Amino acid sequence: MINKLTQLLSAANISLSDQQKQQLVGYVELLHKWNKAYNLTSVRDPQEMLVRHILDSIVVNPSLTGNRFIDVGTGPGLPGVPLAIVRPDSHFTLLDSLGKRIRFLRQVQFALGLQNIEPVQSRVEAFSGEPAFDGVISRAFASLSDMVNWCHHLPGREGRFYALKGQHPAEEIAALPPQFQVTDVVELKVPQLEGERHLVIIKAL
């Protein structure tokens, strides 16, 4: 699996250390193992997980600014865990309301020795978010309007919302409340992944 990951990283022009590659593969192995009992993802094949979960998560890394992030509706830790591995100097709060997902993430934290993630079981509306975050990240979590409405209390003054989307979400962007502005829409290239991927970056006015 490490060879496949190395090929994908090379195709995406991403350079990682051997330890980071081992951690990413270790995460996929844990996800595959726990998925049988916990049903954490619909992707069953570990090779496919490398493309659809690992690469799809870490291609957003160059667009992130700051070092305190919260991954809302993280599920089994996507994109938070892969991003925490490739950004060891950043801290990621992994927020999900389901206990089984948080139990899995605590196991990931322990097994991979990740000091820079904090799994938290909470609904996003009930989470205080102090101190404020540099970035609020979501992947397949909600519409842009729901995201900013539910998470408006989480970013700091210079903080940003980062929404990972498939096709360019023109209608969702048009429906954003007026106090929020899209600062960038980044077209993402994920090797061996069919379909469009976009990162929408939003700030509060």
What is the b/e burial string over 171-188, where b = at least 16 CB atoms within 10 angstroms of the residue's CB?
Answer: ebbeebeeebebeebeeb
- Angle at which helices 2-11 and 18-38 pack, to 10 degrees? 120
The answer to whether the annotation marks 83 as part of a ligand binding site is no
Known binder of ligand: residue 99? no
The CA distance from 78 to 86, in Å, is 13
- What are 100's two structure tokens? 């089984």
Query: Is 135 annotated as a binding-site member?
Result: no
The answer on whether 95 is annotated among ligand-binding residues is: no
What sign does the CA torsion over 145, 149, 154, 155 have? positive
Q: Confirm or deny that 130 is annotated as ligand binding.
A: no
Q: Are 123 and 151 in contact (CB under 8 A)?
A: no
Binding-site residues sit at 73, 78, 124-125, 139
Binding-site residues for S-adenosyl-L-methionine sit at 73, 78, 124-125, 139
